[in-house]
Amino acid sequence: MPIDAASIGQRIVVRYAVGGTGPSGGPAMSDVIGRVRAVDLSAVTLERRDGRTQVVALTDVVTWKPVPDRPLRRRRAADASADELTRITSLGWPAIESLALGDWELRTSRRFTGRANSVAVHGDPGVAFDVALDRVVEFYASREVPALAQVVVGSAAERDFINAGWTPMAGYHGGAVVQVADLDPAYDADASARIASTADDDWLANYGRVNDPAAARAVLEGPATVGFVSIGSPAVAIGRVAVTGEWAGIACVEVAPDHRRQGLARRIVETALAWAVERGADKAYLQTMRTNHAALALYEPYGFVDHHDYRYLEPGTTVSSQ
């Protein structure tokens, strides 16, 4: 049976030819396990457990079969490293343009949010640190946007940036916190909530903070598995959930001012988490300002706890793009 559109959403294992000769003298092969996210006449795209995607040409497929969904919580959310979560959160909020610098990600998205317009610092840049900084500054200078680095507070990378003359971003008050939670297999989704695959004008109007709708949609709709939750017509409460491998990212929970204190935010979160579990997520993360006490209180009953803080740094006056 071929891999076709009916396989989308299934978790499968694929054995495929990689070229050359294997140890036994026959064709060299490899295996990959993942959830089918796309398939056409030439290739299948699989999303692996770590959120990365792999494309396999159908002509290289030797055999494949469905595999059961893994048990929930094979690994606790709190056990993930800060570097791993920085990469996962970046996949859940993908930039319009992204360029790899070793493990680092140079991101720009026409100034829509700091997360999509900064270098995500995780892992090794693959070059000497001073060379990496020069390339970061040059990347953003060539696009005529400010250079920013998203760094984990208290990390060695943060210290290296500060020692190189980078300073906290001007006008940015406080830092942001990443919280994580292990997901429950059963949530009480709101039957009246709508979940769409795109952000329509009604949803964006409730989200606000959008000067460039096209750029906002490109980032918000970027993940392969993303849902835009809304309640009411027109919407009076919204949220966004992106599933990346085993992780779900909850974001953009907003309630119209004259509809607050009615439990709508809780209904949005519960619906988003239920949707994510149905799509294979067993862990969740969120990113919010450390000073956003209302948001932190909203998520606490769902088991969200602090994982790490991050902030944005910019080149000091002594740092140049030369």
Structural domains of the chain, with CATH:
5-66 (2.30.30.520), 77-175+310-315 (no CATH), 179-307 (3.40.630.30)
| Residue range 211-230, pLDDT digits in tens | 999 999 999 999 999 999 99
| pLDDT value at residue 53 | 86
Q: Phi and psi for 273 in degrees, rounded to 5? A: -65, -40
Cross-strand partners of 55: 45
Model confidence band, residue 321 (pLDDT cutoffs 50, 70, 90): very low
DSSP codes joined into one string, 238-253: EEEEEEETTEEEEEEE
| Residue range 261-293, pLDDT digits in tens | 999 999 999 999 999 998 889 999 999 999 999
What percent of the chain is modeled with pLDDT above 90?
Answer: 74
The per-residue pLDDT of the chain, averaged, comes to 91
Does position 320 have pLDDT exceeding 50, yes or no? no
Report the C-alpha gap between 309 and 53 in whole angstroms: 27
| pLDDT value at residue 27 | 84
Cross-strand partners of 166: 315
Report the C-alpha gap between 109 and 141 in whole angstroms: 14
Q: How far is CA 53 from the centre of its chain?
A: 13
| Residue range 135-171, pLDDT digits in tens | 999 999 999 999 999 999 999 999 999 999 999 997 7
| Residue range 293-315, pLDDT digits in tens | 999 999 999 999 999 999 999 99
Model confidence band, residue 25 (pLDDT cutoffs 50, 70, 90): confident
Nearest to 176 by CA among 86, 243, 81, 110: 86
Does position 322 have pLDDT exceeding 70, yes or no? no
| pLDDT value at residue 71 | 56
CB atoms within 10 A of CB 45: 17
Both tokens of residue 204?
């964006």
Tell me, yes or no, if the pTM score tops 0.85.
Answer: no
| Residue range 239-250, pLDDT digits in tens | 999 999 899 999
| Residue range 169-213, pLDDT digits in tens | 977 666 899 999 999 888 989 999 999 999 999 999 999 889 999
